[in-house]
Amino acid sequence: MKILAIETSCDDTGIAVIEASKTGDFKVLSNFVSSQIEIHKKYGGVFPTMAKREHQKNLVPVLVQALAESGLLERNKNSIKTEEIASILEREKILYKKAIPFLKKYRKPGIDLIAVTNGPGLEPCLWVGVNFAKVLSLVWNIPIVPVNHIESHILVNYLNNKAIKLPAVSLVVSGGHTQIILMKKIGEYQILGETRDDAAGECFDKSAKILGLAYPGGPEISRLAEKSEPGKIIFPRPMINEKSYDFSFSGLKTAVLYHHKKQDRKIQKSKQYIQDMSAEIQQAIIDVLIKKTVRASKENDAKTIILGGGVSANHELKTQLLIKIKQEMPEADLLFPATDHSTDNGLMTAVAGYMHRNKKTGWKCLKADANLRIS
Protein backbone atom coordinates (compact mmCIF):
# COMPACT_ATOMS: atom_id res chain seq x y z
CA MET A 1 0.00 0.00 0.00
CA LYS A 2 1.09 3.57 -0.67
CA ILE A 3 0.90 6.15 2.10
CA LEU A 4 1.13 9.91 1.74
CA ALA A 5 2.17 11.59 5.00
CA ILE A 6 1.95 15.19 6.14
CA GLU A 7 3.85 16.63 9.12
CA THR A 8 3.49 20.25 10.25
CA SER A 9 3.68 20.04 14.06
CA CYS A 10 6.37 22.69 14.46
CA ASP A 11 8.49 24.59 11.96
CA ASP A 12 9.19 21.94 9.32
CA THR A 13 6.78 21.23 6.47
CA GLY A 14 7.32 17.54 5.79
CA ILE A 15 5.69 15.38 3.13
CA ALA A 16 6.65 11.81 2.32
CA VAL A 17 5.31 8.93 0.27
CA ILE A 18 6.15 5.35 1.19
CA GLU A 19 5.19 2.00 -0.23
CA ALA A 20 4.72 -0.67 2.42
CA SER A 21 4.66 -4.34 1.49
CA LYS A 22 2.47 -6.91 3.27
CA THR A 23 5.56 -8.18 5.05
CA GLY A 24 6.24 -4.76 6.57
CA ASP A 25 9.10 -3.70 4.30
CA PHE A 26 9.15 -0.03 3.41
CA LYS A 27 10.22 1.62 0.20
CA VAL A 28 10.67 5.37 0.52
CA LEU A 29 9.30 6.93 -2.65
CA SER A 30 9.91 10.50 -1.51
CA ASN A 31 10.61 12.49 1.64
CA PHE A 32 10.77 16.28 1.43
CA VAL A 33 11.15 18.76 4.26
CA SER A 34 10.88 22.47 3.78
CA SER A 35 12.67 24.00 6.75
CA GLN A 36 11.72 27.40 8.15
CA ILE A 37 14.97 27.80 10.08
CA GLU A 38 16.13 30.83 8.07
CA ILE A 39 12.89 32.65 8.91
CA HIS A 40 12.85 31.82 12.62
CA LYS A 41 16.60 32.42 13.01
CA LYS A 42 16.04 36.18 12.95
CA TYR A 43 13.83 35.91 16.02
CA GLY A 44 15.81 33.24 17.87
CA GLY A 45 12.86 30.82 18.07
CA VAL A 46 9.65 29.62 16.45
CA PHE A 47 6.66 31.95 16.31
CA PRO A 48 3.54 29.79 15.84
CA THR A 49 1.60 32.30 13.70
CA MET A 50 4.59 32.84 11.42
CA ALA A 51 5.18 29.09 11.21
CA LYS A 52 1.51 28.58 10.31
CA ARG A 53 1.85 31.07 7.47
CA GLU A 54 4.93 29.33 6.12
CA HIS A 55 3.23 25.91 6.24
CA GLN A 56 0.38 27.36 4.21
CA LYS A 57 2.82 28.62 1.59
CA ASN A 58 4.90 25.44 1.54
CA LEU A 59 2.42 22.57 1.66
CA VAL A 60 1.32 22.55 -1.99
CA PRO A 61 4.82 23.01 -3.53
CA VAL A 62 6.25 20.33 -1.22
CA LEU A 63 3.38 17.98 -2.08
CA VAL A 64 3.94 18.53 -5.81
CA GLN A 65 7.64 17.76 -5.31
CA ALA A 66 6.89 14.62 -3.27
CA LEU A 67 4.31 13.28 -5.74
CA ALA A 68 6.53 14.03 -8.73
CA GLU A 69 9.49 12.23 -7.16
CA SER A 70 7.22 9.27 -6.38
CA GLY A 71 6.02 9.11 -9.99
CA LEU A 72 2.48 9.92 -8.88
CA LEU A 73 1.95 13.37 -10.36
CA GLU A 74 -0.24 13.31 -13.46
CA ARG A 75 -1.90 16.26 -15.13
CA ASN A 76 -5.62 16.20 -15.66
CA LYS A 77 -8.38 18.77 -15.86
CA ASN A 78 -10.72 18.29 -12.92
CA SER A 79 -13.80 20.16 -11.99
CA ILE A 80 -14.01 20.40 -8.21
CA LYS A 81 -16.58 21.76 -5.83
CA THR A 82 -14.87 24.52 -3.91
CA GLU A 83 -17.51 25.28 -1.27
CA GLU A 84 -16.69 22.49 1.17
CA ILE A 85 -12.94 23.04 0.65
CA ALA A 86 -13.39 26.72 1.43
CA SER A 87 -15.17 25.85 4.64
CA ILE A 88 -12.43 23.39 5.74
CA LEU A 89 -9.73 25.97 4.95
CA GLU A 90 -11.65 28.89 6.41
CA ARG A 91 -8.70 29.83 8.61
CA GLU A 92 -6.05 28.94 6.04
CA LYS A 93 -6.79 31.33 3.20
CA ILE A 94 -3.25 31.28 1.80
CA LEU A 95 -3.36 27.50 1.57
CA TYR A 96 -6.82 27.59 -0.01
CA LYS A 97 -5.54 29.80 -2.83
CA LYS A 98 -2.74 27.35 -3.54
CA ALA A 99 -4.78 24.17 -3.08
CA ILE A 100 -7.56 24.93 -5.59
CA PRO A 101 -5.37 25.30 -8.71
CA PHE A 102 -3.39 22.22 -7.64
CA LEU A 103 -6.53 20.10 -7.25
CA LYS A 104 -7.86 21.29 -10.60
CA LYS A 105 -4.61 20.59 -12.40
CA TYR A 106 -3.64 17.11 -11.20
CA ARG A 107 -5.30 13.71 -11.20
CA LYS A 108 -5.96 11.76 -7.98
CA PRO A 109 -2.66 9.96 -7.24
CA GLY A 110 -2.41 6.21 -6.58
CA ILE A 111 -2.38 6.61 -2.80
CA ASP A 112 -4.23 4.26 -0.41
CA LEU A 113 -3.95 6.18 2.84
CA ILE A 114 -3.16 9.69 4.08
CA ALA A 115 -1.28 9.93 7.39
CA VAL A 116 -1.17 13.26 9.19
CA THR A 117 0.32 14.43 12.48
CA ASN A 118 -2.55 15.63 14.68
CA GLY A 119 -0.57 16.32 17.87
CA PRO A 120 1.23 17.14 20.04
CA GLY A 121 2.77 20.34 18.69
CA LEU A 122 2.00 23.96 18.00
CA GLU A 123 -1.77 24.22 17.64
CA PRO A 124 -1.97 26.58 14.60
CA CYS A 125 0.70 24.56 12.79
CA LEU A 126 -0.99 21.23 13.47
CA TRP A 127 -4.30 22.55 12.12
CA VAL A 128 -2.77 23.56 8.78
CA GLY A 129 -1.56 20.00 8.16
CA VAL A 130 -4.75 18.42 9.46
CA ASN A 131 -6.99 20.67 7.35
CA PHE A 132 -4.88 20.09 4.26
CA ALA A 133 -5.14 16.32 4.83
CA LYS A 134 -8.91 16.70 5.19
CA VAL A 135 -9.16 18.50 1.85
CA LEU A 136 -7.07 15.86 0.06
CA SER A 137 -9.12 13.11 1.68
CA LEU A 138 -12.38 14.76 0.63
CA VAL A 139 -11.39 15.48 -2.96
CA TRP A 140 -9.53 12.24 -3.60
CA ASN A 141 -11.75 10.03 -1.42
CA ILE A 142 -8.83 8.50 0.47
CA PRO A 143 -9.07 7.61 4.20
CA ILE A 144 -6.94 9.35 6.82
CA VAL A 145 -5.05 8.01 9.79
CA PRO A 146 -4.08 10.49 12.54
CA VAL A 147 -0.53 10.15 13.86
CA ASN A 148 0.89 11.08 17.26
CA HIS A 149 4.10 13.04 16.69
CA ILE A 150 5.94 11.53 19.68
CA GLU A 151 5.01 8.03 18.62
CA SER A 152 6.25 8.74 15.09
CA HIS A 153 9.66 9.76 16.52
CA ILE A 154 9.76 6.24 18.03
CA LEU A 155 8.26 4.24 15.17
CA VAL A 156 10.55 5.74 12.50
CA ASN A 157 13.03 3.22 13.87
CA TYR A 158 10.95 0.47 12.20
CA LEU A 159 12.05 1.81 8.83
CA ASN A 160 15.20 -0.31 8.91
CA ASN A 161 14.31 -2.73 11.71
CA LYS A 162 11.35 -4.92 10.98
CA ALA A 163 11.47 -6.88 14.21
CA ILE A 164 12.23 -4.69 17.20
CA LYS A 165 12.51 -6.79 20.35
CA LEU A 166 9.97 -5.71 22.97
CA PRO A 167 9.50 -4.38 25.57
CA ALA A 168 11.42 -1.30 24.53
CA VAL A 169 12.25 1.83 26.45
CA SER A 170 12.28 4.96 24.33
CA LEU A 171 13.88 8.28 25.01
CA VAL A 172 12.13 10.92 22.91
CA VAL A 173 14.05 14.17 23.05
CA SER A 174 12.96 17.10 20.94
CA GLY A 175 12.45 20.84 21.06
CA GLY A 176 9.08 20.44 22.73
CA HIS A 177 9.29 17.12 24.58
CA THR A 178 11.52 14.96 26.74
CA GLN A 179 9.93 11.67 27.69
CA ILE A 180 11.00 8.18 28.68
CA ILE A 181 8.37 5.83 27.33
CA LEU A 182 7.87 2.13 27.90
CA MET A 183 6.60 0.41 24.75
CA LYS A 184 5.05 -2.99 25.44
CA LYS A 185 3.83 -3.26 21.88
CA ILE A 186 3.07 -0.85 19.05
CA GLY A 187 0.26 1.36 20.30
CA GLU A 188 0.67 0.42 23.97
CA TYR A 189 2.75 2.94 25.86
CA GLN A 190 3.44 4.12 29.37
CA ILE A 191 5.20 7.40 30.06
CA LEU A 192 7.73 6.57 32.77
CA GLY A 193 9.04 10.10 33.10
CA GLU A 194 9.07 13.46 31.38
CA THR A 195 10.34 16.96 31.81
CA ARG A 196 8.66 19.14 34.40
CA ASP A 197 9.68 22.32 32.61
CA ASP A 198 11.92 22.81 29.55
CA ALA A 199 12.55 20.03 27.03
CA ALA A 200 16.15 18.94 26.38
CA GLY A 201 16.11 20.54 22.90
CA GLU A 202 14.70 23.71 24.40
CA CYS A 203 17.59 23.75 26.90
CA PHE A 204 20.06 23.44 24.00
CA ASP A 205 18.25 26.22 22.12
CA LYS A 206 17.89 28.62 25.07
CA SER A 207 21.46 28.10 26.27
CA ALA A 208 22.69 28.73 22.73
CA LYS A 209 20.69 31.95 22.60
CA ILE A 210 22.32 33.12 25.85
CA LEU A 211 25.70 32.47 24.22
CA GLY A 212 24.65 34.47 21.15
CA LEU A 213 24.51 31.40 18.87
CA ALA A 214 22.06 30.93 16.02
CA TYR A 215 18.73 29.07 16.23
CA PRO A 216 18.34 26.08 16.46
CA GLY A 217 20.97 25.89 19.17
CA GLY A 218 21.30 22.11 19.43
CA PRO A 219 23.38 21.58 16.28
CA GLU A 220 25.42 24.73 17.05
CA ILE A 221 26.28 23.66 20.60
CA SER A 222 27.07 20.17 19.41
CA ARG A 223 29.43 21.50 16.70
CA LEU A 224 31.25 23.83 19.12
CA ALA A 225 31.40 21.21 21.89
CA GLU A 226 33.57 19.05 19.63
CA LYS A 227 36.34 21.64 19.88
CA SER A 228 36.60 21.49 23.67
CA GLU A 229 35.80 19.11 26.50
CA PRO A 230 33.37 19.19 29.40
CA GLY A 231 34.46 20.00 32.96
CA LYS A 232 36.31 23.27 32.39
CA ILE A 233 33.19 24.98 33.69
CA ILE A 234 30.86 23.01 35.94
CA PHE A 235 27.08 23.04 35.56
CA PRO A 236 24.50 21.08 37.57
CA ARG A 237 22.91 17.82 36.37
CA PRO A 238 19.35 18.51 37.55
CA MET A 239 17.46 15.61 39.20
CA ILE A 240 20.17 13.13 38.16
CA ASN A 241 20.07 11.22 41.45
CA GLU A 242 16.35 11.41 42.05
CA LYS A 243 14.41 8.17 41.88
CA SER A 244 11.82 9.60 39.54
CA TYR A 245 12.34 9.38 35.77
CA ASP A 246 11.27 13.01 35.40
CA PHE A 247 13.60 15.70 34.15
CA SER A 248 14.03 19.41 34.79
CA PHE A 249 16.19 21.48 32.49
CA SER A 250 15.19 25.04 33.32
CA GLY A 251 17.62 25.21 36.27
CA LEU A 252 20.48 24.26 33.98
CA LYS A 253 19.54 27.04 31.56
CA THR A 254 19.45 29.51 34.51
CA ALA A 255 22.88 28.34 35.68
CA VAL A 256 24.18 28.97 32.15
CA LEU A 257 22.66 32.46 32.18
CA TYR A 258 24.14 33.41 35.60
CA HIS A 259 27.56 32.09 34.73
CA HIS A 260 27.54 33.93 31.41
CA LYS A 261 26.42 37.21 32.96
CA LYS A 262 29.33 37.08 35.43
CA GLN A 263 31.94 37.06 32.63
CA ASP A 264 33.31 40.26 31.17
CA ARG A 265 32.42 41.03 27.57
CA LYS A 266 35.78 40.01 26.19
CA ILE A 267 35.49 36.52 27.64
CA GLN A 268 31.82 36.26 26.60
CA LYS A 269 32.90 36.75 23.01
CA SER A 270 35.94 34.49 23.13
CA LYS A 271 35.89 31.38 20.96
CA GLN A 272 37.48 29.19 23.63
CA TYR A 273 34.93 30.21 26.27
CA ILE A 274 31.97 29.50 23.96
CA GLN A 275 33.44 26.10 23.10
CA ASP A 276 34.04 25.27 26.81
CA MET A 277 30.49 26.34 27.67
CA SER A 278 29.06 24.30 24.79
CA ALA A 279 30.94 21.17 25.85
CA GLU A 280 29.73 21.43 29.44
CA ILE A 281 26.11 22.28 28.56
CA GLN A 282 25.94 19.34 26.15
CA GLN A 283 27.50 16.95 28.67
CA ALA A 284 25.22 18.07 31.51
CA ILE A 285 22.16 17.34 29.35
CA ILE A 286 23.56 14.03 28.10
CA ASP A 287 24.52 12.83 31.60
CA VAL A 288 20.96 13.22 32.88
CA LEU A 289 19.36 11.72 29.76
CA ILE A 290 21.61 8.66 29.78
CA LYS A 291 21.48 7.96 33.50
CA LYS A 292 17.67 7.97 33.60
CA THR A 293 17.20 6.11 30.32
CA VAL A 294 19.57 3.29 31.31
CA ARG A 295 18.00 2.97 34.78
CA ALA A 296 14.48 2.89 33.29
CA SER A 297 15.60 0.32 30.73
CA LYS A 298 17.12 -1.96 33.37
CA GLU A 299 14.16 -1.68 35.72
CA ASN A 300 11.74 -2.55 32.93
CA ASP A 301 13.87 -5.34 31.42
CA ALA A 302 13.97 -3.55 28.09
CA LYS A 303 15.18 -5.68 25.20
CA THR A 304 15.61 -2.58 23.05
CA ILE A 305 16.42 1.02 23.83
CA ILE A 306 15.10 3.44 21.23
CA LEU A 307 16.19 7.04 20.72
CA GLY A 308 14.07 9.53 18.82
CA GLY A 309 13.40 13.23 18.31
CA GLY A 310 15.55 16.12 17.10
CA VAL A 311 18.10 15.83 19.92
CA SER A 312 18.77 12.22 18.89
CA ALA A 313 20.71 13.77 16.01
CA ASN A 314 23.34 14.58 18.65
CA HIS A 315 26.43 12.49 17.95
CA GLU A 316 27.77 12.50 21.53
CA LEU A 317 24.41 11.40 22.95
CA LYS A 318 24.31 8.42 20.59
CA THR A 319 27.96 7.48 21.16
CA GLN A 320 27.87 7.74 24.93
CA LEU A 321 24.53 5.92 25.24
CA LEU A 322 25.85 3.11 23.07
CA ILE A 323 28.94 2.71 25.28
CA LYS A 324 26.81 2.70 28.44
CA ILE A 325 24.38 0.12 27.09
CA LYS A 326 27.18 -2.14 25.92
CA GLN A 327 28.63 -1.99 29.44
CA GLU A 328 25.47 -2.29 31.48
CA MET A 329 22.95 -4.08 29.25
CA PRO A 330 25.02 -6.04 26.71
CA GLU A 331 22.02 -8.14 25.64
CA ALA A 332 19.93 -5.12 24.69
CA ASP A 333 19.84 -3.40 21.29
CA LEU A 334 20.12 0.35 20.85
CA LEU A 335 18.27 1.89 17.92
CA PHE A 336 18.32 5.45 16.68
CA PRO A 337 17.19 7.01 13.42
CA ALA A 338 19.47 8.25 10.64
CA THR A 339 20.43 11.86 11.43
CA ASP A 340 18.03 13.39 8.91
CA HIS A 341 15.20 11.25 10.25
CA SER A 342 15.82 12.47 13.83
CA THR A 343 14.43 15.94 13.28
CA ASP A 344 10.85 16.35 12.08
CA ASN A 345 10.00 14.85 8.69
CA GLY A 346 7.08 13.26 6.87
CA LEU A 347 8.68 9.84 6.63
CA MET A 348 8.27 9.16 10.34
CA THR A 349 4.60 10.12 10.04
CA ALA A 350 4.24 7.71 7.12
CA VAL A 351 5.77 4.79 9.04
CA ALA A 352 3.59 5.46 12.10
CA GLY A 353 0.56 5.84 9.80
CA TYR A 354 1.27 2.42 8.32
CA MET A 355 1.52 0.85 11.79
CA HIS A 356 -1.89 2.28 12.63
CA ARG A 357 -3.51 1.70 9.23
CA ASN A 358 -6.40 -0.08 10.91
CA LYS A 359 -7.34 3.15 12.68
CA LYS A 360 -8.13 4.93 9.43
CA THR A 361 -11.10 7.23 9.60
CA GLY A 362 -13.13 9.68 7.55
CA TRP A 363 -11.89 13.25 7.30
CA LYS A 364 -14.83 14.72 9.19
CA CYS A 365 -13.79 13.20 12.53
CA LEU A 366 -10.25 14.50 12.45
CA LYS A 367 -9.06 17.09 14.98
CA ALA A 368 -5.68 18.57 15.93
CA ASP A 369 -4.74 18.34 19.60
CA ALA A 370 -1.72 20.36 20.73
CA ASN A 371 -1.52 18.40 24.00
CA LEU A 372 -2.09 14.90 22.65
CA ARG A 373 -0.54 12.25 24.94
CA ILE A 374 0.98 8.98 23.81
CA SER A 375 -0.50 7.03 26.74
Binding interface with Zn ion (CB under 5 A): 174, 344
With respect to Zn ion, which residue has the nearer C-beta, 13 or 174?
A: 174
CB of 270 to Zn ion, least distance (A): 34
Residue by residue, DSSP assigns 221-289 as HHHHHTTS-TTSS----TTTTSSS--B--HHHHHHHHHHHHHS-HHHHH-HHHHHHHHHHHHHHHHHHH
Q: Which stretch binds ligand KG4 (CB under 6 A): 107-115, 187-195, 200-208, 298-306?
A: 200-208
Instruction: Report what 17 binds from ligand KG4, Zn ion, none; CB cut-off 5-8 Å by kind.
Output: none
User: Counting contacts by CB under 6 A, is residue 314 touching ligand KG4?
Assistant: yes
Smallest Cα–Cα separation from 348: which of 71, 64, 31?
31
CB of 342 to ligand KG4, least distance (A): 7
User: Counting contacts by CB under 6 A, is residue 344 touching ligand KG4?
Assistant: yes
Q: Going by C-beta distance under 8 Å and a sequence separation of 6 or more, which residues neighbour residue 188?
A: none
User: Counting contacts by CB under 6 A, is residue 217 touching ligand KG4?
Assistant: yes
Instruction: Report what 113 binds from ligand KG4, Zn ion, none; CB cut-off 5-8 Å by kind.
Output: none
61 prior amide bond cis, ω within 30:
no
Contacts of ligand KG4 in 164-183 (CB under 6 A):
174-176
With respect to Zn ion, which residue has the nearer C-beta, 45 or 251?
A: 45
CB of 251 to Zn ion, least distance (A): 24
Look at the chain and count its residues.
Answer: 375
Among 119, 129, 310, 346, binds ligand KG4 (CB under 6 A): 310
User: Counting contacts by CB under 6 A, is residue 313 touching ligand KG4?
Assistant: yes
Among 201, 230, 337, 353, binds ligand KG4 (CB under 6 A): 201
Contacts of ligand KG4 in 45-64 (CB under 6 A):
none
Q: Going by C-beta distance under 8 Å and a sequence separation of 6 or more, which residues neighbour residue 281?
A: 203, 204, 207, 221, 225, 235, 252, 256
Q: Going by C-beta distance under 8 Å and a sequence separation of 6 or more, which residues neighbour residue 91?
A: 127, 131
Q: Going by C-beta distance under 8 Å and a sequence separation of 6 or more, which residues neighbour residue 365?
A: none
Q: Which stretch binds ligand KG4 (CB under 6 A): 80-88, 133-141, 216-224, 233-241?
A: 216-224
Instruction: Report what 157 binds from Zn ion, ligand KG4, none; CB cut-off 5-8 Å by kind.
Output: none
CB of 204 to Zn ion, least distance (A): 14
Contacts of ligand KG4 in 127-156 (CB under 6 A):
none
Torsions phi, psi for 117 (to 5 deg): -70, 125
Q: Residue 77 carries which side chain, given as an amino acid letter?
A: K
What are the beta bridge partners of residue 106? Answer: 75
Query: How far is residue 89's CA from residue 8's CA, in Å, rounded to a whole number?
Result: 15
Smallest Cα–Cα separation from 59: which of 29, 80, 89, 33?
33
User: Counting contacts by CB under 6 A, is residue 218 touching ligand KG4?
Assistant: yes
Chain contacts with ligand KG4 (rule: CB under 6 A): 10, 174-176, 201, 204-205, 216-219, 222, 309-311, 313-314, 343-344
